């Protein structure tokens, strides 16, 4: 049997609350957006798509090895943005400032190990961000665009990155439902 799965770094309860307040402010602008449930906001490190259930243990074992070389880190969640651009928002996100580049290094270590295991990895550069929502239509886009421009400089606080989580993703009419399969703590000296 196959499951949809991905690896991510989870945000803590305090940051979930902060980002829920940001979403509430953005919702007030009336744009047609499918908002990510605050408890589902995360930093994706790798999206597998469908994998066989038997692969879970191998992935977790190798991610434990990777995490043993990475120590927990603190980064800042700040600024709002959109892909492909603020003028043409399709995906709304909160930015992550990682002055030392440790998140990029962690994602690179994850990708190298997965490539070694035979998984296809993303070739585009990794740009850490937390997806808050995706536009459904152009309705209300101008008000949202202005709110995002004002939010470019906001600081939402520190985020303590403590681990890598393997999630199962089940698509439901109400939105994606994520189930933790394994939480792998960071505990290295790097």
Active site residues: 42, 129
Residue length, the chain?
190
Task: Give just the sign of the alpha carbon dihedral 169, 179, 10, 105.
Answer: negative
CB atoms within 10 A of CB 14: 13
DSSP secondary-structure letter at 40?
G
Q: Quick check: 94 and 25 in contact, CB under 8 A?
A: no
Q: Could you give phi then psi for residue 166, rounded to 5 degrees?
A: -95, 120
Q: Quick check: 60 and 184 in contact, CB under 8 A?
A: yes
CA 1 to centroid of chain Cα atoms: 26
Q: Locate 171 and state its tokens.
A: 């698509």
Q: Locate 150 and state its tokens.
A: 């004002």
């Amino acid at each position: 049997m196959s499951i949809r799965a991905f690896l991510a770094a989870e945000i803590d309860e305090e940051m979930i609350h902060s980002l829920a307040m940001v979403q509430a402010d953005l919702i007030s602008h009336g744009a047609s957006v499918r908002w990510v449930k605050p408890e589902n906001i995360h930093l994706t490190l790798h999206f597998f798509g469908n994998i066989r259930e038997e692969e879970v243990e191998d992935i977790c074992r190798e991610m434990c090895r990777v995490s043993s070389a990475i120590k927990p880190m603190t980064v800042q969640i700040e600024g709002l943005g959109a892909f492909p651009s603020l003028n043409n928002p399709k995906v709304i996100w909160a930015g992550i400032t990682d002055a030392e580049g440790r998140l990029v290094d962690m994602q690179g270590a994850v990708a190298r190990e997965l490539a070694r295991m035979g998984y296809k990895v993303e070739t585009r550069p990794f740009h850490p961000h937390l997806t808050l929502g995706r536009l459904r239509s152009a309705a209300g886009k101008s008000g949202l665009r202005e709110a995002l421009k004002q939010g470019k400089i906001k600081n939402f606080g520190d985020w303590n990155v403590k681990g890598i989580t393997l999630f199962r993703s089940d698509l439901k009419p109400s939105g994606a439902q994520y189930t933790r399969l394994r939480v792998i703590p960071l505990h290295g000296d790097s």
